[in-house]
Amino acid sequence: MKLSRIFRTFLFIVFSTWQTTIGTVSVLMVALLFTMAVHVVPDGAYRDRDCVAPPVDPRKAVVHVDHQLGDEWDCRGEQFVLEAGQEFTLNFLEFSEDGTPAGATLADGTSAQLATFQRLLEPDEKTYVLVFAHGWRNNASYGNHDIHKFRILLAYAAAFVNQRCHADGDTTYCGMKVRGLALGYRGASFNERDEHGNALPDLQASLMAAPTFMARKALTDGDLARGAAGTLPMAVAAALRDIESGLALRDHTGLGPDRMIVVGHSLGANLLLRAFKADIVQAVSRHQTGSILPAVIGDLLVLVNPATTAAVWMEIAQSVRTATGVPETGRFTSTSASFFGDGQPPVVMALTATCPFYASIFEGWREYWETYFRQFHAALAEKLNPACDWVTAFALPLAEAMGSDNNGSQYSTIALGQLVPHEPDGLAGLTHGLETNTSTGTRTSFARSGQEEFNRCTEVPGWLLAARGRVAGQHEPWDAGHRRDGPKANLSPVRLASGEWKRLEIQFSLVADIYWGEPHSIDARWIASPNDPFWNVAAHANTIEHHGGYVSYQLWCALNQFVLDDTTDRYASH
């Protein structure tokens, strides 16, 4: 009824102002409204027990149907056996907007999709669980781009695991099962394909999607459709905790055989951060100085181009400052930097294709222009990310500024990945920098995931501890290095040089000096300490391109190294 009323209103405007510009715009709006009505995506499951799976391309994989899991295995889950030897499964866990299971449930109300996945987690098997939460304008439907990207990443993860099964007696990863789980929710309000399955023109699809952003973000914030399961973030957190409880992950002894990484993109990253933020803050408040802060979920939580305001991240940063006694505008000292132990790995890592030049265009843009353009033009011209994430740099701040629920804080209208490393240059919040010595280009694909030249992921035990150890003081910024040898030799290679293969490197650094250089004054505050487990990383264009260009072999290897390898030598004596 409401749609019909709006439709009649637009018709009245069109016919009453036909010869005017308003009339022309109204015609376009009516056409767009009609298209949106036809393409509305309902709140529901795509991978339920009554769906029919399309055929799988035999050039990509062989799919086995496991009847022990039910006849719906080919619909609710996919099993891949690639020619190069990688094996992995992909399952789905879909949620309704109110946090309840989107698909069928068991007698006790448990999601049938969740039960299907948990049956794969055999206690006598080694398991690597990889969880992925898609972003805005996506869901778990067939042909979805984010889901296909996840398949590619799973294929590479399986290759990385296989490479770590050695003939020299180290059997840690031999026989490990790679299990992927895609979290689905109503990230898309409209189907951006026509009745033949072809993608709609970009402009038309973008115009349809633009008005839905704030509602989809409110859903992932937990501010929309509270139901029996609470909010969507609460439901996601509960489900992942349930999965985690069925795994034997590494603890302080390092003896657990299972591994788990949780990754979210865009609004999916916002969903995950909202799901676990309270747990993070509580863990910091209870942390004992000098010890290792345990992972918040699995082994590592990764947020890629998170569509999250900086205010959320700063709550975590402030909890660390409060626990360490560091003033709001003070710098970390040797004493406060030791709050987290030397063997502390990252537990939450946000990665953004940061747009440094435009970071605060909505906050003091004139001062930014003068500061960066006049004083640092040469450096920025070389280091500026031309393929940065304009969605979180511009669309998110604009939407938040137009919203009625922001609290007036500067941090509430800027994305967490679009901050700067230190004051007084702007709103401080970035903690690390990241780049690689080669471009992502076309090196990352499903087909190339089985080619050794393009899937080799070197083992790098202890690299992070070594990087921290080669700086003069405990409170000084560290760097993984960017040279072949010498005091600044790279400690975190992706692939070693071999024959015609070029050496590939990933370079993490504390404080994003790869963009901004040294602080302007001794009073400039770093937002993090060297051992800080919460990384807000500015990623160069050769690691993440634009908003959706995160399918990078080098980046994915580096993230898996944190999970599969003991990067801080925590377990060297076990």
Q: Which residue has the higher pLDDT, 364 or 58?
A: 364
- With the C-alpha atoms ordered 424, 429, 431, 435, is the resulting torsion angle positive or negative? negative
Q: Which residue has the higher pLDDT, 307 or 48?
A: 307
Statement: residue 537 has pLDDT above 70 = yes
Nearest to 94 by CA among 81, 122, 68, 75: 75
Output the pLDDT for position 528: 75
The residue whose two tokens read 């990230």 is: 187
- Per-residue pLDDT, averaged over 386-413, amounts to 75
Same domain? 82 vs 190: yes
Output the pLDDT for position 356: 58
| Euclidean distance between CA atoms 183 and 92, whole angstroms | 6
Q: CA distances (Å), 84 to each of 163, 379, 553, in order?
A: 12, 43, 16
- Per-residue pLDDT, averaged over 132-148, amounts to 89
- Per-residue pLDDT, averaged over 193-211, amounts to 69
| Euclidean distance between CA atoms 104 and 180, whole angstroms | 20
- With the C-alpha atoms ordered 160, 165, 167, 169, is the resulting torsion angle positive or negative? positive
- Per-residue pLDDT, averaged over 141-169, amounts to 88
52-78 per-residue burial string, b: 16 or more CB within 10 A, e: under 16? ebeeeeeeebebeeeeebbebbbbbbb
- Per-residue pLDDT, averaged over 464-493, amounts to 78
Statement: residue 518 has pLDDT above 50 = no
Q: Is residue 51 part of a domain?
A: no
- Per-residue pLDDT, averaged over 60-65, amounts to 38
- Per-residue pLDDT, averaged over 322-337, amounts to 72
Same domain? 108 vs 202: yes
| Euclidean distance between CA atoms 126 and 424, whole angstroms | 49
Tally: H helices and E strands in the chain: 19, 11
- Maximum separation of any 2 CA atoms in the chain, in Å: 82
Output the pLDDT for position 517: 42
- Per-residue pLDDT, averaged over 383-411, amounts to 72
Same domain? 98 vs 196: yes
pLDDT confidence tier of residue 285, bands split at 50, 70 and 90: very high
Output the pLDDT for position 223: 84
pLDDT digits (tens, 9 = 90+) for 286-301: 999 999 999 999 999 9
Q: Is residue 237 part of a domain?
A: yes
pLDDT digits (tens, 9 = 90+) for 73-99: 445 678 888 877 889 999 999 999 999
3-state secondary structure of 479: strand
Statement: residue 58 has pLDDT above 70 = no
Output the pLDDT for position 267: 96
- Per-residue pLDDT, averaged over 300-316, amounts to 94
- pLDDT above 90 covers a percentage of the chain that reads 33
Tokens of 160: 């990385």
Output the pLDDT for position 104: 84
The sheet that has 77-81: what strands, in order across it? 77-81, 87-94, 177-184, 127-133, 259-265, 300-304, 348-352, 534-539, 432-436, 504-510, 493-495
Same domain? 256 vs 332: no
The DSSP bridge pattern shows strands 504-510 and 432-436 to be antiparallel
Question: Which one of 240, 265, 290 terminates a domain?
Answer: 265
Q: Which residue has the higher pLDDT, 571 or 50?
A: 571
Same domain? 161 vs 83: yes
Provide the domain limits for residue 504: 300-564
Statement: residue 370 has pLDDT above 60 = no
Same domain? 138 vs 226: yes
- State the CB neighbour count (10 A cutoff) for residue 135: 26
Statement: residue 360 has pLDDT above 70 = no
Same domain? 77 vs 148: yes
The string of DSSP codes covering 212-281 is: GHHHHHHHHHT-S--BTTBSHHHHHHHHHHHHHHTS-B--TT----BEEEEEEETHHHHHHHHHHHHHHH
| Euclidean distance between CA atoms 468 and 342, whole angstroms | 8
Output the pLDDT for position 21: 46
Q: Is residue 24 part of a domain?
A: yes
Output the pLDDT for position 2: 43
pLDDT confidence tier of residue 233, bands split at 50, 70 and 90: very high
The residue whose two tokens read 């803050």 is: 281
pLDDT confidence tier of residue 146, bands split at 50, 70 and 90: very high
Same domain? 256 vs 340: no
Cis peptide bond upstream of 424, omega within 30: yes
Q: Which residue has the higher pLDDT, 246 or 530?
A: 246
Q: CA distances (Å), 416 to each of 134, 211, 216, 396, 409, in order?
A: 18, 22, 18, 10, 13
Statement: residue 283 has pLDDT above 60 = yes
Output the pLDDT for position 162: 93
Statement: residue 134 has pLDDT above 90 = yes
Statement: residue 178 has pLDDT above 60 = yes
The residue whose two tokens read 């051992």 is: 531
The residue whose two tokens read 């560091």 is: 326
CA 170, 174, 177: angle at the middle one, nearest 5? 150
- Per-residue pLDDT, averaged over 343-357, amounts to 87
Q: Is residue 387 part of a domain?
A: yes
The number of residues making up the chain comes to 574
Statement: residue 15 has pLDDT above 60 = no
Output the pLDDT for position 567: 93
Q: Is residue 124 part of a domain?
A: yes
Q: What are phi and psi of 506, to 5 degrees?
A: -115, 130
- Per-residue pLDDT, averaged over 209-227, amounts to 83
Output the pLDDT for position 143: 79
Q: Which residue has the higher pLDDT, 234 or 169?
A: 234
Same domain? 173 vs 253: yes
| Most confident of the following: 200-204, 412-416, 460-464, 529-533 | 460-464
Output the pLDDT for position 550: 93
The residue whose two tokens read 């996506």 is: 138
SS3 letters across 63-118:
CCCCHHHCCCHHHHEEEEECCCCCEEEEEEEEECCCCCECCCECCCCCEHHHHHHH
- Per-residue pLDDT, averaged over 492-518, amounts to 73
Same domain? 354 vs 205: no
pLDDT digits (tens, 9 = 90+) for 373-394: 444 344 444 444 557 888 888 8
Q: Is residue 48 part of a domain?
A: no
Q: Is residue 574 part of a domain?
A: no
Asked if 301 and 347 count as a contact pair (C-beta separation under 8 A), the reply is yes
Q: How far apart are the first and last CA of the chain?
A: 67
Same domain? 381 vs 427: yes
Q: Which residue has the higher pLDDT, 567 or 75?
A: 567
- Per-residue pLDDT, averaged over 397-412, amounts to 71
pLDDT confidence tier of residue 404, bands split at 50, 70 and 90: low
Output the pLDDT for position 66: 37
Output the pLDDT for position 268: 97
Output the pLDDT for position 114: 92
- State the CB neighbour count (10 A cutoff) for residue 279: 13
Q: Is residue 521 part of a domain?
A: yes
Q: List residues bridging with 40 in a β-sheet.
A: 190
Statement: residue 56 has pLDDT above 60 = no
Output the pLDDT for position 59: 35
Output the pLDDT for position 220: 94
Q: What is the mean pLDDT of the chain?
A: 77
| Euclidean distance between CA atoms 488 and 485, whole angstroms | 7
Statement: residue 341 has pLDDT above 50 = yes
Tokens of 63: 């799919």
The residue whose two tokens read 């264009």 is: 541
The DSSP bridge pattern shows strands 432-436 and 534-539 to be parallel
Same domain? 357 vs 410: yes
Domains: count for the chain: 3
